Amino acid sequence: MAALVNVPARAKRGDVIEIRTLTSHIMETGFRHTADGKLVPRDIITGFTCRYNGAEIFRADLFPAIAANPYLSFFTIAKESGKFEFEWIGDNGYSSTASASITVE
């Protein structure tokens, strides 16, 4: 379950930093049919959470209208050195995690 996360390696204390994430997922809407008329069952990522040294800083509920391979970008204030943890959860027990560290001066 490949995920790409982009967090600046270092930042000044108090800086607003952008975090970008991309994960590979089909995001099957559940509204499409095969050529012989069968409904393709829904298979999407429904939730995303980002924690910064354990505290939740961003959360999102996703719906079928999010494009395949969901991309999310958001901001946070660089407070202290540490670790960002990312988690994606979805249909059929899907779960994927990633992490990135930051040095705050």
Please identify which residue in the block is written with the tokens 């505290």.
Answer: 55
Length of the chain, please? 105
- Give the C-alpha separation, 47 to 26, whole Å: 15
Are the C-beta atoms of 102 and 7 separated by less than 8 Å? Answer: yes
Binding mask 75-104 for other proteins (x = CB under 8 A): xxx-x-------------------------
Nearer to other proteins, 62 or 95 (CB): 62
Residues 69, 102, 52, 14: is their CA dihedral positive or negative? negative
Number of residues that bind other proteins (CB under 8 A): 33
Least spacing, CB of residue 60 vs other proteins, in Å: 5
The set of residues, in sequence order, having a beta carbon less than 8 Å from that of 21 and lying 6+ positions away, is: 3, 4, 5, 6, 48, 50, 71, 72, 73, 86, 98
Residues 9-28: x where in contact with other proteins by CB under 8 A, - otherwise, as a string: -------xx-----------
* Site for other proteins contains 40 (CB under 8 A): yes
Instruction: Rule CB under 8 A: choose which of 9, 12, 54, 61 binds other proteins.
Output: 61
Q: Which residues bind other proteins (CB under 8 A)?
A: 16-17, 29, 31-35, 40, 52, 55-68, 70-77, 79
